[in-house]
């Protein structure tokens, strides 16, 4: 079950000086797809290969384990300059604010998110969250509001909200928008080709 308390906030608030591409959003909201598009387009990812591809994400998660330690260690963030790194929504407020971020924030219908999570837990043989789907969706909605308020309050976050359903249905359009947001140096054709509509499961 995800934590219900408001996200922590990073203590510093100083001028931003360096860019990092951050892919964020709720679990099962399309963050792996966004990372795959960036990599296909030519951007280096900040990954360690510890979490491998599986039935829930056959093209890989593209994660970096040290992200989970942001509350105690953020020194690795400087090494993500010029790269893409996936940061779960609750940890975004812990990113140092002396670095500039181009954030791709994935948005997906909360009903789809909770169903996708439930299916993932069933496939792995793990028990589900103690919260009902409706209660979990309410918690997520509150968490998202807090995270977006934090990013809105700090000039170092430049955010592009990416609706997952629209991305899958119009990958070329969104490849163009994403590329423009992160600097305009990626291969948009390759980015769009990385989108496989067959992997859009648990649709509303």
In a domain, 50, yes or no: yes
- How many alpha carbons fall within 13 Å on the CB side of residue 41? 29
Return the ∠ at Cα 24 (arms to 173 and 51), rounded to 5°: 110
Rounded Cα distance between 62 and 69, Å, is 17
Per the structure, the count of domains in the chain is: 1
In a domain, 59, yes or no: yes
Does the pLDDT of residue 124 top 90, yes or no?
Answer: no
pLDDT of residue 98: 93
The candidate with the shortest Cα–Cα distance to 10, out of 92, 86, 100, 81, is 92
* Distant-in-sequence, close-in-space partners of 7: CB < 8 Å, separation ≥ 6: 89, 90, 91, 92, 93, 94, 143, 146, 147, 150
Residue 196: alpha-carbon gap to chain centroid: 18
Are 103 and 151 in contact, with CB atoms under 8 Å apart? yes
pLDDT of residue 11: 47
Higher pLDDT, 14 or 69: 69
Does the pLDDT of residue 102 top 90, yes or no?
Answer: yes
Least confident of 35-44, 90-99, 133-142, 145-154: 133-142
What CATH number is given to the structural domain containing 100? 3.40.50.300
Domain that holds residue 63: 19-195
In a domain, 200, yes or no: no
pLDDT of residue 22: 98
Does the pLDDT of residue 64 top 90, yes or no?
Answer: yes
pTM of the model: 0.84
pLDDT by residue (tens digit) across 16-27? 555 999 999 999
In a domain, 159, yes or no: yes
Structure tokens at 38: 């960036």
């Amino acid at each position: 079950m995800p934590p219900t308390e408001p996200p922590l906030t990073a203590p510093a608030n100083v001028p931003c000086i360096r860019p990092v591409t951050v892919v964020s959003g709720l679990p099962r909201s399309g963050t792996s797809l966004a990372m795959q598009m960036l990599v296909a387009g030519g951007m280096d990812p900040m990954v360690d290969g510890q979490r491998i591809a599986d039935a829930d994400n056959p093209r890989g998660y593209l994660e970096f384990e040290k992200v989970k330690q942001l509350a105690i260690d953020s020194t690795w963030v400087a090494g993500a300059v010029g790269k893409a790194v996936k940061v779960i929504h609750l940890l975004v407020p812990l990113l140092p604010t002396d670095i500039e971020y181009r954030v791709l924030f994935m948005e997906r219908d909360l009903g789809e998110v909770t169903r996708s999570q439930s299916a993932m837990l069933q496939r792995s043989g793990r028990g589900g969250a103690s919260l009902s789907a409706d209660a979990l969706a309410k918690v997520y909605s509150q968490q998202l509001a807090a995270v977006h308020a934090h990013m809105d309050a700090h000039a170092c976050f430049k955010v592009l909200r990416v609706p997952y359903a629209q991305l899958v249905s119009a990958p070329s359009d969104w490849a163009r928008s994403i590329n423009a947001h992160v600097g305009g140096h990626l291969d948009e054709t390759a980015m769009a080709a990385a989108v496989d509509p067959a992997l859009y499961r648990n649709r509303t």
